[in-house]
Amino acid sequence: MLSSIFSKVESLTESHFWSPHENHDREDLGEIVYQGTLSRQNPSGGLRLETYYLTSKKLIYFQNSNGLTKYSNLSWKVIEPFVEEEASRRYGFCISYGKKCKYFYTKSSDDLDKWLNHLSFSAIMTDIENDYLFQKQIGTGSFAAVYLAKDLDSKKSFAIKSINKVVIQRNKRNLDQIIREIEIMRQIDHPNIAKLYKIYESETHVHLVLEYVAGGTLLQRLTTKGPFSEEKSAKFIEKFLKVLRYLCQNNIVHRDIKPENILMTDENKDTSFKLIDFGLACVYTGNLTSSCGSPGYVAPEILRKIPYDPKVDVFSAGIILYIILSGRAPFSAGSPKETLVKNRECFITFSEKYWGNVSRQAINVVLRLTQPNPLLRPTAKEALAYEWFRWKSNENMLLKSTPTSFSGVWSNLPTNPSPVDTSKKGLSSNRSVRMFPFLGEKNRISMKKFNNPKLAKKISMDLRREIETPKIKVKIHS
């Protein structure tokens, strides 16, 4: 019997294999996806044939003699097929729970295959080499490698994320992380999120069978084709905010949104994508405190070690919007450490070279989504109400109204954060506009004063010390 890393989870949630169904309403057990007969050994050593039912999570059988219904939750149980070579060959599978195992016998080899196929969507399987052909490695990370694989029956392609069990068992945090990732991905069902189909475990690895998306990453698309048009950017980010709204409705925070984790589904459509990699995702039950994310995309409150909520994903979406509109990253630096410093300070600049043909409405949305103060930053649902996303019904709003210079860009923008007053003397048309976090309308500063780097830093720090963010105490490190 396989030594499963998930046995600890099973022992914590299930003390017995079967649980009685107290409610007589069978609909509460879920929709039945398969039913068939299986045999089990009775105390006298013979086989007893019974009818079993399978839902997306449970194996169920009904005791007709007394009307009692029993079920077994399969989510963390491991399925191992077997063949007994005796006078007559017998086929079956065992279901492991904790350190114990229940044995079930099927009528034939074909019947075993049917049961295993349906069980594979409910439990953890062990025979991945019998089901998939690994073709090539297509990705790698700190804890896992991703392979392109072909289903041996359907011939369809899948992405298989293989995680070394040595790494998982190195500490409890790693085990909790993979369990959390599986729980979240099992819960998710959205057209713009890559789907988890099956889970396998061997003596050395845990394998997640995922939807394969062949169009490459958003980063690769931008590198090849350059920034998106404003119309495509509006379509893309509107669709992306709907993904975040769906996650928020299900109390899920991704926490690692970046171009590398967005896969394009069509080579010719820049607005078709799927979000991947929920390795850092978590369920939101209250303010979160764990530090995680990728430099350049993580929300400032995480870096400032302030309790945070799902709005951290909205900030990352704002950085994505900045990048697809301009082809530039707002916090790029020579090293990840320097990038994190810029990311934490959250000074965002708009150079006319890259932003001169972008409408004021688009810049407005970038500013709102990347608002450093999480209390002032919108939720995904709130952001979707912005006028900019109604380009279909108001075509004149985009492009035709784009400013030819930055002299009047800021007249209708929000004051959170407030930009530098570009009407001040000394700001030429090819200069950048620098954004200061937590600044109000009364604190606009002439760009001329920032020609001196030391003075610029002092003014910036002084202003941020003066302004108190409601309900949040921000520590400033000079």
How many CB atoms within 10 Å of residue 397?
A: 19
pLDDT for 27: 61
Tokens 């049961």 belong to which residue? 115
Report the distance separating Cα 339 and Cα 295, nearest Å: 6
Q: Based on the fold, state whether residues 162 and 88 are members of the same structural domain.
A: no
- Where the chain has pLDDT below 70, the residues are 10-15, 22-28, 64-68, 87, 391-478
Same domain, 47 and 174: no
**Domain range for 354:** 218-466
Same domain, 228 and 332: yes
* 161 known ligand binder: yes
Domain match, 202 and 229 both = no
Instruction: For residue 333, give Cα distances in angstroms to 296, 328, 339, 343, 436.
Output: 9, 12, 5, 10, 18
Residue pair 161/213 in contact (Cβ under 8 Å)? The answer is no
Confidence at residue 478, expressed as pLDDT on a 0 to 100 scale: 28
* Buried-exposed string 112-129: b where 16+ CB fall within 10 A, e elsewhere: beebbebbbbbbbbbebe
Tokens of 445: 């500063």
Q: Return the number of other C-beta atoms located less than 10 Å from residue 66's C-beta.
A: 6
Domains in the chain, number? 3
CA distances (Å), 375 to each of 319, 368, 369, 379, in order? 18, 11, 12, 10
> What pLDDT was estimated at residue 213?
96
Among the candidates 89, 123, 157, a domain finishes at 123
* Mean of the per-residue pLDDT values of the chain: 82
Within a domain: 475: no
Q: What pLDDT, in 10s, does the model give residues 451-466?
A: 444 544 443 443 333 3
Neighbours of 305 (CB within 10 A): 12
- Please check whether residues 283 and 409 belong to one and the same domain: yes
Listed residue (127, 129, 124) closest to 149, CA to CA: 129
Q: Is residue 477 part of a domain?
A: no
Please give the pLDDT value at position 85. 82
Cα 70 to chain centroid distance, Å, stands at 35
3-state secondary structure (DSSP) of residue 79: strand
What is the per-residue pLDDT for 25?
A: 55
Last residue of a domain, one of 191, 211, 231: 211
Q: What pLDDT sits at residue 8?
A: 73
Place of tokens 């119309």: 231
Q: Give the CATH number for residue 289.
A: 1.10.510.10
- Residue 313 annotated to the active site: no
Of residues 319, 335, 314, 289, the one with CA closest to residue 435: 319
Among the listed residues 153, 189, 256, 266, the single catalytic one is 256
- Residues 53-102 have pLDDT tens digits of 999 899 998 776 556 688 999 999 999 999 988 767 899 999 998 778 99
Q: What is the pLDDT, as a whole number, of residue 23?
A: 58
Cα–Cα distance between 214 and 71 in angstroms, integer? 40
pLDDT by residue (tens digit) across 129-151?
999 999 999 998 778 999 999 99
Please indicate, yes or no, whether residues 26 and 138 belong to a single structural domain of this protein: no
CA-to-CA dists, residue 296 to 259, 350, 473, angstroms: 11, 16, 23
Query: What's the whole-model pTM score?
Result: 0.81
